[in-house]
């Protein structure tokens, strides 16, 4: 069987979930992610222009997100991230605000603005204080826990947490459709997951079958493969750059810590000399501290 694209790469994800003709696949994922009751299940979605914001370089990268509008007018943005840039909450609020405000047209009333939802699928642990793989945030009053408005909704879906639960058999893709769709993103690296999802697709889930057939097809498309490999390389380079920056930061932090430790030792020595009645000039010669620094220590 042909090696399938890694759907955790944003280009591959968009090729499957954010391409015209695949709206039913996106609708099935959103129904699972947003947990709508049966009477409010999404039937159709409209893919939106991905170039709605291009003010800076970060905006231009958003063309690899999936933007869609639901039947009730709600806007949804799905972003998938391989690498932890430690800024997801700020990026999320920024893109949410751009999507929300982009609805506003001249002469339009604020009451016409529709709910805006962002979904972040991340291939790293991000919310360390939360064990669940799917977290949903809205605007609540702190004490009474009352919802101010449902216009803002932010989802985080952490794939590593899901995989831990999957390996412990705490989740079941046969029973939970969101688990099913998120495990699909991991299937290119796991034959067991692939086999189970193929069984589900053949037995009960026609949309999942369509998704897996389309995934197989795009994985053999030469033009898609060329763009996919370029994007995958860029993400690997980005990961290496982030790792180098992290290592440099650790080294710099260690140097600063060592310097502060030496400074503390010197000041402790100087205080001991002061208590023994040694004059400032001698203390300065022995420690390298200035007269002003020594006088400050005398007044502590």
Q: What is the pLDDT of residues 214-266, one digit of tens each?
A: 999 999 999 888 888 888 888 777 777 766 666 666 656 555 655 666 677 77
Q: Residue 297: what pLDDT?
A: 80
Measured between alpha carbons, how far is 234 from 230 in angstroms, rounded to an integer?
Answer: 6
Q: Residue 26: what pLDDT?
A: 96
Tokens of 152: 């803002």
Measured between alpha carbons, how far is 108 from 101 in angstroms, rounded to an integer?
Answer: 12
Contact 242, 85 (CB under 8 A): yes
Report whether pLDDT(136) > 90. Answer: yes
pLDDT-above-90 percentage for the chain: 52
Measured between alpha carbons, how far is 100 from 115 in angstroms, rounded to an integer?
Answer: 8
Stretch 29-46: mean pLDDT: 90
Measured between alpha carbons, how far is 70 from 59 in angstroms, rounded to an integer?
Answer: 23
Tokens of 49: 């222009």
**Residue 54: which residues within 8 A CB-CB, separation 6 or more?**
60
- Give the β-pairing of 147-158 and 116-122: parallel
**CA dihedral over 13, 18, 22, 28, signed as positive or negative:** positive
Backbone angles phi, psi at 136, to 5 degrees: -125, 130
Tokens of 137: 């945030």
Contact 118, 79 (CB under 8 A): yes
**Residue 181: which residues within 8 A CB-CB, separation 6 or more?**
28, 29, 32, 33, 208
Q: Flag the least confident range among 1-15, 166-180, 193-207.
A: 1-15
Tokens of 231: 């994007």
45-126-5 Cα angle (round to 5): 55
Q: Residue 140: what pLDDT?
A: 93
pLDDT-above-70 percentage for the chain: 88
Q: Residue 1: what pLDDT?
A: 53
Q: Residue 113: what pLDDT?
A: 93
Exposed e or buried b for every residue in 54-88, given b needs 16+ CB within 10 A? eeeeeeeebebbbbbbbeeebbbbbbbbbbeeeeb
Q: Which position has the higher pLDDT, 33 or 261? A: 33
Tokens of 269: 């020595």
DSSP state of 2: P
SS3 80: strand
Tokens of 121: 């699928």
Measured between alpha carbons, how far is 217 from 68 in angstroms, rounded to an integer?
Answer: 23
What's this model's pTM, rounded to 2 decimal places?
0.76
């Amino acid at each position: 069987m042909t090696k399938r694209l890694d759907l955790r790469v944003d280009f591959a994800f968009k090729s499957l979930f954010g391409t015209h003709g695949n709206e039913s696949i996106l609708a099935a994922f959103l129904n699972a992610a947003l947990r709508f009751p049966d009477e409010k299940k999404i039937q159709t979605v409209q893919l939106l222009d991905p170039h709605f914001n291009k003010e800076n370089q970060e905006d231009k990268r958003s063309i690899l997100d999936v933007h869609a509008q639901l039947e009730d007018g709600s806007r949804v943005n799905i972003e998938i991230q391989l690498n932890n840039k430690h800024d997801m909450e700020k990026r999320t609020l920024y893109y949410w605000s751009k999507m929300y405000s982009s609805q506003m047209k001249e002469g339009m009333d604020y009451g016409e603005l529709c709910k805006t939802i962002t979904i972040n699928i991340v291939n790293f642990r991000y919310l360390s204080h939360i064990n669940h793989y799917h977290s949903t945030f809205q605007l609540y009053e702190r004490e009474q826990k009352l919802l101010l408005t449902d216009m803002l909704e932010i989802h985080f879906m952490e794939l590593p947490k899901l995989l831990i639960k999957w390996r412990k058999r705490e989740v079941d893709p046969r029973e939970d459709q969101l688990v099913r769709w998120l495990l699909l993103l991991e299937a290119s690296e796991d034959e067991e997951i692939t086999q189970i999802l193929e069984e589900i697709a053949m037995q009960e889930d026609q949309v999942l079958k369509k998704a897996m057939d389309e995934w197989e097809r795009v994985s053999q498309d030469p033009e898609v493969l060329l763009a996919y490999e370029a994007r995958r390389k860029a993400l690997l380079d980005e990961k290496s750059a982030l790792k180098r920056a992290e290592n440099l930061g650790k080294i710099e932090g260690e140097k600063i810590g060592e310097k502060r430790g030496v400074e503390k030792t010197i000041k402790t020595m100087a205080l001991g000399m002061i208590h023994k009645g040694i004059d400032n000039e001698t203390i300065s010669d022995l420690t390298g501290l200035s007269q002003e620094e020594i006088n400050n220590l005398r007044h502590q």
